C-alpha cells in the first residue's frame, strides 16, 4: 500500500515559484534578517548581560533567542513559497464521499451545509456524521436525500476520540476512493471537487487542503478570525517543502492513504504492547532464575534459555525485519522446549519421591500410627514430602505465556482496531498529515476559496477555540515531536515544528511585558549597555524583519494577527501546560465543540482577560513612574524613552482585546457572500 509514482501523472504535482523578482527579494530579506538577528543575539549573550540582575536579564535574552528562532522558521517557510497553477481537470469515474462532521450544531446550520454538499457538481455521496445520534438529524438527512451515520454499540464504554473517532467510524462504513471532510459550518461551493480532484491523478498525493475563510467576519475583524497569512503565504511556503498540512476541514484525502496510516498505527500499537509484555516477562523469568540458581542448576539453565529467547524477541522487534507472527511463534517454541526440560526434571523428582515412599521403615519407632495399613502410610508420607518441595518452575513459564496473551491483536480497548485519523490529541488534523508525510505521501495546498465558514461570534467562544487549537498542537508536540519522527525530510520536520514552536510565544510575551515595567518602576536594567549602542544593534534587525513580513504577506494585513499572538499569552501558556499535563499524567482533555452562534452574556466578559488587564494597569503605572524619574533627572533619558516606547507598544498590543470584548455580534452573511 506504499504510494506508487505514476509517470503519466507528473503534471498533477507541478509547482510554480512566485515571480522571480519577488521570491529573490524575499530570500534576500530572509538572509539579511537571519544574519542581523544572529549578530544581535550573539552580541546580547556575550556582551550585554547584566549579571547583577540576572533574574530579568537572562529571561529577556532567552525570550529574544526564542523570537529569533521563530523568525528563522518563518523565513525558511517563505524561502520555498510556491503558487500552484490550475490542476488538471477532475478525472471522471472517481468515487467520493463528503463527510459533514457534527455533534450538537443547530439543525438549520447542518441542513444548509448538507444541502450545499449534496449539490456539489462532481458525482459523489454525502454523509452527515452525527456524533450526537439525534433522531431529528436522521430525519433531516432522509429529507435531503443524503446518508446518515451515527456510532454503533461497539463505541459504548470505549474511547470516542471526538471528531477523529467520528470520522474513523464513518471510514469503516463507506467506500469512496476519496473523502472530502467538512465541519458543520463549512458550506462547500459546487465546484470544490471539480477544482481539486485533478491533483490526485498523481498517486503520490494523499491530501489537498483548501483555505478556511469565514463569511460572517465583521469589518475590522474584531475577534481576529481572519487567517489570511496562514491560509496563503504560510501554507504556500509549507507546500514548497511538501509539508502543507491538514487543517481539519475543507480538505480532500485519499482513502488508501488513510487506511495505510490506520494499519501502520495498528501495527505500531501491537508492537508497543508486545514490547511491554516482553519486558514484563523478562523480569518474571529473571526472578525465578535467581531463585533456582543454587537450588536446581538444571532449572536455572532452562530459565536462562527462556531469558535469551525473550531478549532475542526484543531485538527482532526493535529491528522490525521479521513479522510479528514469526517473532511470537519462535518465542513460544523456545519457551515450550524449555518447559519440556523443566517437566522432565519435575517427573524425575516425583519418581524419587515414589521410590522413597516404597521404602517402608523396619524399626518400630519409625513406623506409622497404623503400620498394618501401607496405603495410609504412603498418603501421609507423600503429603509430607511434597509439602517440602518448592513450587514447580513451570509457574515462571506460565507467567511468560500470560504476559504474551495480554497482547490482544484486536485492540479490545478500542471500538475498532484500525484508526486512520490520529487520535493522540484533541485535534486530529496535524498529527494525521504528519504521519502521512512520514509514510512518504505528498500533500497539496490549493489556494482558492471553495467553502465558506462561520467564525466565532463572541470573545469567549474565540478564546475556547484558540485554546483547543493550542492544546491539540502541543499534545502532538509532546507525544510525537516532529524533529524525532522517521520518514519525513528534515525540512518537513521543521515546518511542523515551526507551528508547534509558535505556541510557546506566551512565555516569551510574559518577559516582553515585564521588562519595561521593571525598568520604569525600579530602574533595573536587563542590559549592561547604553541606549544608543542597543539601538544600533537592535533597530536594523527589527526594520529588516518587518520588511520581510511585509513582502512575504503580499499585501495581506498582519498587524492585527501580530497583536493577538501576543495579547492572548495566557491562552497559549494554558494550552502548553495543560497539554503537557495530559501527556505526562494521561489525563484526557475535554473536546469543546466551537459554538456556531453567539453565546448569551450580560455584557463584555472582562473576567476572561483578567491577566491582560492586570498587565495593562501595571504598564500605565510604570509609565507614570518612569516619566517622574525622567523629569526629576534621575534616569537615563535614552533608556527611559526606549522603555516608554516599549510600554506604549505593549498597551497598543493589549488594546486589541478591547474590541474583542465589546464586540456585539456579526452581521448575518448574505446569500451572495455564501455562494
Q: What is the pLDDT of residues 525-577, one digit of tens each?
A: 999 998 899 999 999 999 999 999 999 998 888 888 899 999 999 999 999 99
Distances (CA, A) of 626 to 512, 518, 530, 618: 17, 10, 17, 12
The angle that helices 394-405 and 297-319 make with each other, rounded to 10 degrees, is 20
Q: Between these two residues, 594 and 111, which has the higher pLDDT value?
A: 111
In this structure, are strands 96-102 and 178-183 parallel, antiparallel, or unpaired?
A: parallel
Determine whether 632 is exposed, middle or buried from the number of CB atoms within 10 Å of its CB (0-12, 13-18, 19+). exposed
> What is the model's pLDDT at position 673?
43
Q: What sections of 413-458 are H helices per DSSP? A: 429-438
Lowest pLDDT segment from 173-182, 198-207, 390-399: 390-399
Q: How far is CA 366 from the centre of its chain?
A: 77
Edge-first strand listing for the sheet containing 451-453: 187-188, 451-453, 213-214
d(CA 515, CA 416): 53
User: Could you give phi then psi for residue 456, rounded to 5 degrees?
Assistant: -55, 150
- Which one, of 406, 419, 160, lies nearest residue 267 by Cα? 419
CB-CB neighbours of 615 under 10 Å: 23
Determine whether 29 is exposed, middle or buried from the number of CB atoms within 10 Å of its CB (0-12, 13-18, 19+). buried
Residue 115 pLDDT exceeds 50: yes
> What is the model's pLDDT at position 4?
37
d(CA 40, CA 545): 13
Distances (CA, A) of 141 to 24, 136, 191: 52, 9, 22
Average pLDDT over residues 227-244: 95
> What is the model's pLDDT at position 544?
96
Rg (CA), the chain: 33
Q: Between these two residues, 308 and 115, which has the higher pLDDT value?
A: 115
Question: What count of residues does the chain have?
Answer: 675
Residue 671 pLDDT exceeds 50: no
Residue 354 pLDDT exceeds 70: no
Lowest pLDDT segment from 200-204, 240-244, 275-279, 544-548: 275-279
Task: For residue 356, name the pLDDT band (cuts at 50, 70, 90).
Answer: low
Beta bridge partners of 452: 187, 213
Residue 674 pLDDT exceeds 50: no
Average pLDDT over residues 230-247: 96
Q: How far is CA 227 from the centre of its chain?
A: 20
d(CA 94, CA 431): 27
d(CA 443, CA 236): 11
DSSP state at residue 557: -
d(CA 109, CA 674): 13
- C-alpha cell recorded at residue 391: 513450587
> On the CB side of 335, how many CA atoms lie within 13 Å of its CA?
27
- On average, the pLDDT of the chain sits at 86
The secondary structure element, H or E, covering residue 569 is helix 569-585
d(CA 112, CA 668): 14
Question: Are residues 41 and 489 in contact, defined by beta-carbon separation less than 8 angstroms?
Answer: no
Q: Between these two residues, 209 and 274, which has the higher pLDDT value?
A: 209
Q: How far is CA 153 from the centre of its chain?
A: 28
User: Could you give phi then psi for residue 605, rounded to 5 degrees?
Assistant: -95, 70
The secondary structure element, H or E, covering residue 253 is strand 251-254
Task: Please name the residues in contact with 148: beta carbons below 8 A apart, sequence gap of 6 or more.
Answer: 127, 128, 130, 137, 138, 141, 142
Task: For residue 48, name the pLDDT band (cuts at 50, 70, 90).
Answer: very high
Residue 384 pLDDT exceeds 80: no
- Which one, of 143, 113, 439, 139, lies nearest residue 249 by Cα? 113
Question: Are residues 247 and 428 in contact, defined by beta-carbon separation less than 8 angstroms?
Answer: no
> What is the model's pLDDT at position 598?
59
Can you list the positions of beta strands (E) in 412-522?
Answer: 442-445, 451-453
Question: Are residues 129 and 173 in contact, defined by beta-carbon separation less than 8 angstroms?
Answer: no
Question: Are residues 71 and 153 in contact, defined by beta-carbon separation less than 8 angstroms?
Answer: no
CB-CB neighbours of 340 under 10 Å: 10
> What is the model's pLDDT at position 385?
46
pLDDT in tens, 140-153: 999 999 999 999 99
Task: For residue 346, name the pLDDT band (cuts at 50, 70, 90).
Answer: low
The angle that helices 569-585 and 459-479 make with each other, rounded to 10 degrees, is 40
Average pLDDT over residues 19-32: 89
Beta bridge partners of 34: none
pLDDT in tens, 460-514: 999 999 999 999 999 999 999 999 998 999 999 999 999 999 999 999 999 999 9
Question: Any idea where the domains of the chain sit in the sequence?
Answer: 20-81+496-661, 265-358+390-405
> What is the model's pLDDT at position 208?
98
Residue 5 pLDDT exceeds 90: no
- Which one, of 437, 534, 645, lies nearest residue 44 by Cα? 534
- C-alpha cell recorded at residue 439: 509514510
pTM of the model: 0.83
> What is the model's pLDDT at position 142?
97
pLDDT in tens, 117-138: 999 999 999 999 999 999 999 9
Amino acid at each position: 500500500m506504499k504510494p506508487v509514482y505514476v509517470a503519466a501523472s507528473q503534471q498533477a504535482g507541478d509547482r510554480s515559484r512566485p515571480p522571480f523578482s519577488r521570491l529573490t527579494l524575499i530570500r534576500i530579506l530572509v538572509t539579511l534578517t537571519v544574519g542581523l538577528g544572529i549578530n544581535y543575539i550573539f552580541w546580547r549573550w556575550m556582551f550585554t548581560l547584566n549579571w547583577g540582575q540576572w533574574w530579568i536579564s537572562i529571561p529577556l535574552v532567552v525570550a529574544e533567542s526564542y523570537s529569533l528562532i521563530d523568525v528563522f522558521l518563518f523565513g525558511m517557510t517563505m524561502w520555498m513559497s510556491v503558487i500552484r497553477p490550475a490542476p488538471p481537470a477532475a478525472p471522471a469515474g472517481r468515487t467520493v464521499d463528503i463527510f459533514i462532521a457534527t455533534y450538537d450544531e443547530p439543525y438549520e446550520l447542518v441542513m444548509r451545509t448538507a444541502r450545499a454538499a449534496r449539490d456539489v457538481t462532481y458525482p459523489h455521496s454525502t454523509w452527515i456524521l452525527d456524533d450526537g445520534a439525534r433522531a431529528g438529524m436522521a430525519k433531516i438527512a432522509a429529507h435531503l436525500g443524503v446518508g446518515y451515520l451515527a456510532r454503533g454499540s461497539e463505541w459504548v464504554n470505549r474511547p470516542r476520540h471526538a471528531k477523529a473517532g467520528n470520522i474513523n467510524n464513518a471510514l469503516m462504513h463507506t467506500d469512496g476512493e476519496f473523502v472530502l471532510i467538512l465541519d458543520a459550518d463549512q458550506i462547500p461551493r459546487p465546484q470544490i471537487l471539480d477544482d481539486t480532484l485533478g491533483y490526485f491523478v498523481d498517486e503520490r498525493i494523499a491530501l489537498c487542503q483548501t483555505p478556511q475563510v469565514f463569511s460572517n467576519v465583521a469589518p475590522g475583524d474584531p475577534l481576529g478570525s481572519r487567517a489570511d497569512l496562514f491560509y496563503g503565504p504560510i501554507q504556500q511556503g509549507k507546500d514548497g517543502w511538501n509539508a502543507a498540512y491538514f487543517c481539519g476541514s475543507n480538505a480532500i484525502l485519499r482513502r488508501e492513504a488513510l487506511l495505510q496510516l490506520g494499519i501502520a498505527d495498528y501495527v505500531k500499537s501491537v508492537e508497543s504492547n508486545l514490547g511491554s509484555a516482553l519486558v514484563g516477562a523478562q523480569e518474571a523469568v529473571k526472578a525465578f532464575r535467581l531463585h533456582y540458581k543454587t537450588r536446581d542448576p538444571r532449572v536455572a539453565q532452562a530459565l536462562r534459555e527462556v531469558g535469551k529467547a525473550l531478549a532475542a524477541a526484543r531485538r527482532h522487534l526493535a529491528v522490525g525485519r521479521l513479522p510479528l507472527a514469526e517473532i511470537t511463534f519462535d518465542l513460544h517454541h523456545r519457551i515450550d522446549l524449555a518447559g519440556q526440560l523443566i517437566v522432565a526434571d519435575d517427573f524425575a523428582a516425583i519418581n524419587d519421591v515414589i521410590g522413597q515412599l516404597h521404602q517402608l521403615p523396619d524399626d518400630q519407632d519409625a513406623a506409622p500410627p497404623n503400620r498394618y495399613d501401607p496405603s495410609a502410610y504412603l498418603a501421609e508420607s507423600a503429603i509430607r514430602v511434597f509439602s517440602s518441595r518448592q513450587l514447580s518452575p513451570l509457574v515462571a513459564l506460565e507467567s511468560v505465556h500470560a504476559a504474551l496473551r495480554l497482547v490482544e491483536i484486536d485492540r479490545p480497548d478500542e471500538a475498532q482496531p484500525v484508526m486512520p485519523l490520529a487520535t493522540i490529541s484533541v485535534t486530529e488534523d496535524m498529527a494525521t498529515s504528519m504521519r502521512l508525510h512520514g509514510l512518504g505521501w505528498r500533500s497539496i495546498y490549493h489556494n482558492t476559496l471553495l467553502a465558506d465558514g462561520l467564525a466565532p461570534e463572541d470573545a469567549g467562544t474565540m478564546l475556547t477555540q484558540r485554546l483547543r487549537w493550542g492544546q491539540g498542537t502541543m499534545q502532538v508536540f509532546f507525544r510525537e515531536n516532529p524533529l524525532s519522527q522517521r520518514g519525513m525530510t528534515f525540512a518537513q520536520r521543521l515546518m511542523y515544528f515551526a507551528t508547534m514552536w509558535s505556541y510557546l510565544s506566551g512565555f516569551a510575551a510574559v518577559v516582553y511585558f515585564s521588562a519595561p515595567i521593571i525598568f520604569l518602576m525600579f530602574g533595573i536594567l536587563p542590559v549592561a549597555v547604553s541606549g544608543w549602542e542597543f539601538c544600533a544593534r537592535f533597530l536594523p534587525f527589527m526594520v529588516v524583519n518587518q520588511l520581510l513580513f511585509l513582502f512575504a504577506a503580499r499585501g495581506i494585513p498582519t498587524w492585527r494577527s501580530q497583536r493577538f499572538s501576543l495579547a492572548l499569552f495566557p491562552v497559549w501558556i494554558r494550552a502548553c501546560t495543560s497539554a503537557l499535563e495530559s501527556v505526562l499524567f494521561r489525563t484526557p482533555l475535554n473536546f469543546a465543540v466551537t459554538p456556531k452562534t453567539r453565546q448569551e452574556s450580560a455584557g463584555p466578559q472582562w473576567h476572561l482577560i483578567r491577566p491582560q488587564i492586570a498587565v495593562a494597569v501595571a504598564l500605565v503605572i510604570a509609565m507614570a513612574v518612569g516619566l517622574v524619574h525622567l523629569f526629576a533627572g534621575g534616569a537615563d533619558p535614552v533608556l527611559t524613552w526606549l522603555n516608554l516606547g516599549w510600554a506604549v507598544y505593549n498597551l497598543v498590543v493589549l488594546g486589541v482585546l478591547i474590541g474583542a470584548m465589546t464586540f456585539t455580534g456579526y452581521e448575518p452573511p448574505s446569500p451572495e457572500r455564501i455562494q
